[in-house]
């Protein structure tokens, strides 16, 4: 059996995450966020069926319920993330949506998983948090007030997305103490697909609309699903062999820099240089975290 170090798995996951994020932004120009998220989630779940022979679903009820809760949280984060990427610049959303959950993951891992870091590493977490706050509050040339920031749907959406993503990661790390990484990944993906299908079925003509779009854009959607599959499975495998408070920051920083540089160029966005500078600063803090 080939043993791959966790940081290689995290790096592969980050590159795949960055690639799928850029492709998602391209697709979301013409797709409804909910319909899009449902289609590619179901496609990813279909790919996961090939891993069933390597899974063992003889788990406790507690583990199953934990996976179900994680699936609900990640389904919510998928929907929220798609909305954020559709209506905002990728070079702005990426550092926040990918980087901000890192802060919550490190804090929640300390509280619930007893993962402890050094004082220097906690200082790095604070540095990442302050970098992200500065990015959130300086989207416009005029600095918004605290009151208007609280009401800003982008900021609220980013916070909700980050909290849901972080809680899902913490639950995943907890469950990985009782089930294998492959088993968790398959179960979570299938449950997430069921949840997303229920969401789209509640919409008028939701199923027919999703089917029509899936047939029309099958190839690019299938490509995104395949890349997302690689990103997801390598992330879970990395978490199975290392602390989530180490895996998440490394994955986040690599994917953030990738999406800011490549995504900003692809979509000809303004202010990319400033966002890249913040991304590099986050990379420095992330290096401190994993050193």
Q: Could you write out the DSSP letters of every residue in 78-125?
A: HHHHHHHHHHS-HHHHHHHHHHHHHHHHHHHHHHHS-----HHHHHHH
Q: Which residues lie closer than 8 Å to 117 by C-beta, 6 or more apart?
A: 106, 110, 125, 245, 289
- Would you give the distance in Å from CA 166 to the centre of its chain? 9
- Whole-model pTM: value is 0.85
Over residues 114-131, the pLDDT tens digits come to: 887 788 878 887 887 787
SS (H, E, C) 121-176: HHHHHHHHHHHHHHHHHCCCCCCCCHHHHHHCHHHHHHHHHHHHHHHHHHHHHHHC
**pLDDT category of residue 28 using cuts at 50, 70 and 90:** confident
The predicted structure's pLDDT at residue 206: 76
Cα torsion 198, 202, 203, 208: sign: positive
The C-alpha atoms of residue 91 and residue 94 are separated, in whole angstroms, by 6
pLDDT higher than 90, residue 107: no
On average, the pLDDT of the chain sits at 82
Over residues 180-219, the pLDDT tens digits come to: 999 999 999 999 999 988 988 887 777 888 888 888 888 9
pLDDT higher than 70, residue 91: no
């Amino acid at each position: 059996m080939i043993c791959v170090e966790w940081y290689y798995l995290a790096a592969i996951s980050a590159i795949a995450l960055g690639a799928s994020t850029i492709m998602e932004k391209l697709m979301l120009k013409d797709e409804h966020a909910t319909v899009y998220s449902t289609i590619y989630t179901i496609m990813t779940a279909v790919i996961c069926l090939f891993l069933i022979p390597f899974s063992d679903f003889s788990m406790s009820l507690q583990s199953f319920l934990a996976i179900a809760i994680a699936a609900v949280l990640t389904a919510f984060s998928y929907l929220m993330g798609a909305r954020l990427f559709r209506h905002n610049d990728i070079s702005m959303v990426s550092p926040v949506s990918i980087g901000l959950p890192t802060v919550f993951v490190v804090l929640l891992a300390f509280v619930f998983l007893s993962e402890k870091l050094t004082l220097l590493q906690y200082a790095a977490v604070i540095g990442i948090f302050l970098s992200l706050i500065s990015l959130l509050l300086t989207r416009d040339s005029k600095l918004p007030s605290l009151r208007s920031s609280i009401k800003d749907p982008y900021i609220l959406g980013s916070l909700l997305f980050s909290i849901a993503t972080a809680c899902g990661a913490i639950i995943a790390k907890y469950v990985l103490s009782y089930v294998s990484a492959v088993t968790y990944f398959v179960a979570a993906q299938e449950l997430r697909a069921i949840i997303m299908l229920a969401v789209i079925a509640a919409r008028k003509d939701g199923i027919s609309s999703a089917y029509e779009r899936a047939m029309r854009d099958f190839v690019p959607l299938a490509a995104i699903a395949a890349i997302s599959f690689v990103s997801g499975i390598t992330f879970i495998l990395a978490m199975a062999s290392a602390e989530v408070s180490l895996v998440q920051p490394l994955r986040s920083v690599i994917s953030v820099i990738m999406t800011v540089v490549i995504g900003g160029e692809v979509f000809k966005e303004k202010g990319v240089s400033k966002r890249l500078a913040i991304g590099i600063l986050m990379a420095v803090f992330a290096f401190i975290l994993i050193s």
